[in-house]
A and B are shown apart, each in its own frame.
Chain A
Amino acid sequence: MTATPSKLLLVEDNEINRDMLVRRLSRAGYTVVAAGDGAQALDKMRTEQPALVLLDMNLPVKDGWTTCQEARADEALTNIPIIALTAHAMDSDREHALSIGCTDYATKPIDFPDLLKKIERLLTP
């Protein structure tokens, strides 16, 4: 089973923000699967085989940092690009996210056109 090129996994616990991003990404032509916490996210990464993951860092049950590290440690998931989404806006947060294995980083409030560019760049072979 290969990943559907346009299938994205959005991991976000805040319902309002999750609905908003699902709708906007769907509008942009992507198939979007959503998860509300880190444990769900890892499950859906295995079952749904998304082409890319948008991962909020402040998550219940299992936070984004741990989720990212576990995904990177799992052979089946290690190559899925992950874009970290966080309201932590410091440079050190960005460096930390990249150091634990996130492929890219976007700060809330999300600059949506910029996020789309990042997704496209990562999905273009």
Chain B
Amino acid sequence: MKWRRSSLSLRTRLYLFSGGILTLFAVNVATHVWGSFARSESLIAYRDAVNAAQLITDLEQSLEDNRQQVLVLATLRETTEDPLGVDEREVALAELNTIEQRLRRLGALGGEGTEDYYRRLHDSASKLLLDWRSFYSDYNNRSVVLNMESATTYNDAFQRLQELDQRQAFLAVQRSNTIDRTISITDRITVFGFVTTIAVTMLLVIALIRSTNASLLRLKTGVQRFGSGDLTHRIDAGRDAGEMGDLARTFNDMSAKLQSAIEDVRDAKANADAANAAKSMFLANVSHELRTPLNAIIGYSEMLQDEIGDPGELDRDQFHHDLGTIIFSGRQLLSLINDILDLSKIETGKMLVTAEWFQPAALVFQVCDSLSPLLSQNSNQLELDIDSNMPELHSDPGKVQQIVTNLFSNACKFTQNGTIKVSAHWRDDELRISVADTGIGMTDEQQSRVFDAFIQAESTTSTEYGGTGLGLAIVKQFCEMLGGHITLDSAPGEGSTFTVALPAVQGSDRAIV
């Protein structure tokens, strides 16, 4: 099991560290107090034993002295008639009391296992003292035959005293050994406790330094990696609790915000670059598209200028045809310039919508009629399906006209020996105009780009079919400006159908773009 010390907050770590040190300190003090207590206990017991030995020695001396005195007095009583003085007797009795007191003190000092010895001594000594008291009391009473204490009683008492002495001596030695042992043990415990405290303190210090350092290192590494450009780098905030974790999370929040800000700036720059590139591309395309009709205009004009200077009869029919070519190219150039201006106006928001009420069926008829010469170019046939009873439309007739014109001329351009079908109906409060052809059609990929400016389905398409590549871009923009939309249904080789849906009242239910 791993101890996740680094998951503790710095404050908790410091508290735990201090608590640990204080606990160890308390344990040391307690060990020391216990040691002192054990030593003093042993010392008291030892002192008792020593005191007891001293008392025993005193008692031995007193007993011996008293016996001598009793023996002397007994001899005196038999040989003389001198009575025992009151003072002398009092002194003697006081001496006996002293002996008795010492006996009691000895009893009070009684160590472990000395009780039996003491009781036996007490019994013998009490008997002896009783004999001696009787002796002193009855000394002057001549009628009383003094019961001289027998040697047995004294010897017995003395014997008991010595036994106790030996016992006490044995206890003193035993206690002295206990003291030695206690001192040795408490010393060892104190030293062990001290060493343990130092070791544990060092371990705690190292653990604290390492865990704190690891947290700081993670922060530092994270800041450095982020600073060196690794914007996705985040600090593992889950590995630290408390202040370090908070700091890591705060840093991560800051990093996320910075990252998104930097990415926004990058995106904005990329968009600006893309827009700039698109503008350059547009300009290059405009330049290219303008040069093609200009080539014909300049080329034919120069050629006619040369031919007019030739001697001989001028081929008037040829001349007329060539002038027609120049005019056609000039018109193509004009329509191109108009398309470019229209797109530019749409892009800069300067294209205005001028809405009025008009009859859409009439407008569609008119466009088809005026563009009918285009049909013959590729041997196409026109099919009309226009509902002439449609209600009036409130929209921009100029733009609707251009929409239909562009779709119609595209259909004619990309269809050979086929049919162009133009239908106009009123459905779901919308005007639906569709222009269907049986021409070359488009792949899905081509359909997805066909409404972009300067895009024809293929780069080679424009050279095969001509055109500016702006027509459908304008149609789409106009449809959206009128609040409508355009859809395309096409497949390669199966023709294309463009369907425009326009609201009855321009801007009624859709925002004007």
Contacts and interface: CB of A to CB of B under 8 A. Distances in A.
Partners in one complex: yes
Interface of A: 13-14, 16-17, 20-21, 23-24, 27, 58-61, 63, 87-90, 107-110, 112
B463 A110 contact: no
A122 B114 CA distance: 145
A59 B306 CA distance: 29
A107 B459 CA distance: 19
A90 B283 CA distance: 11
B288 A112 contact: no
B440 interface: no
Contact of A63 (B291, B307, B460): B460
Interface of B is mostly: helix
A87 B296 CA distance: 12
Contacts of B461: 60
Given A90-B284, A109-B291, A27 B306 contact: yes
A14 to B, nearest CB: 7
A79 to B, nearest CB: 28
List the 10 closest A-B pairs by CB distance, nearest first.
Answer: A87-B291, A108-B295, A109-B295, A60-B464, A20-B299, A60-B460, A109-B298, A87-B288, A108-B291, A109-B294
A60 B463 contact: yes
B304 to A, nearest CB: 10
B463 A14 contact: yes
Interface of B: 284, 287-289, 291-292, 294-300, 302-303, 306-307, 325, 328-329, 459-464, 466
Contact of B299 (A13, A24, A87, A107): A24
B294 to A, nearest CB: 5
Contacts of B297: 109
A87 B462 CA distance: 13
A109 B299 contact: yes
A21 B460 contact: no
A58 B463 contact: yes
B284 A59 contact: no
B201 to A, nearest CB: 77
A110 B461 CA distance: 23
A108 B290 CA distance: 10
